[in-house]
Structure 1
Amino acid sequence: MLDHIGLTVSDLSAARAFYDKALAAIGVKLLHTVGAELTGGSEVLGYGDQRPFFWISEAPEPTGQLHVAFTVQSRALVDAFHAAGLAAGGKDNGGPGIRPHYHPTYYGAFVLDPDGHNIEAVCHAPG
């Protein structure tokens, strides 16, 4: 199952103004922000209804690269995804581990596919 998707925008303030209004019409609102000091780049905005599932961040020249995350049921499956992605020729974009800036039990791993899309597996369950 898809967990969340992310994309880059050229102007985060303009995108926020757009998405705040457009998504409100369908019951989706800004629920979470992750500061640039934690991402090493741009502030990231997470929109959703009960939890964030649509994320945007700023890039000076958006590349069209997507971020897609798949929910899995165990941390072992996150580890298996990461290993299989690397074995299949993907590039490491963040090994398996806790990402507490999202929430205390967020355990994810990231692999870049052959076109540079950031593909993730994430488990939300505790240890």
Structure 2
Amino acid sequence: MIDHIGLTVADLPRAKAFYDQALAPLGYRLLMEVTEKMTGGRGAHLGYGRDGKPEFWIGSAGVPVTGLHVAFAADRRALVDAFHHAALAAGGRDNGAPGLRPEYHPNYYGAFVIDPDGNNVEAVCHREEAS
């Protein structure tokens, strides 16, 4: 349904450092950099994804976004744990430790952190497996 999503951040280098570290355990990495010169002065943008397609963008143009919730897919529960650990090490604030969230569905295993701009970033695995 959604091809990609982007949000504006207050400090692009700080956000880059956070997302580089937080998303690495999930296999997401920086795939594309668009400079301010390339956009004709409409800010710089960084595209993260996996399998060669940038799906999550952060940029420096406009008013920084805060309070957004974005969830990244994890292939295994252990990767949700690794995301949470990496995101906290990168300066994120805990917003929900890794664990089952049966109120969503029996196999919903997620972890939540607040990024440097105040957004709620989640990693989630929907697969059934031993925890």
TM-score by length of 1: 0.50
TM-score by length of 2: 0.48
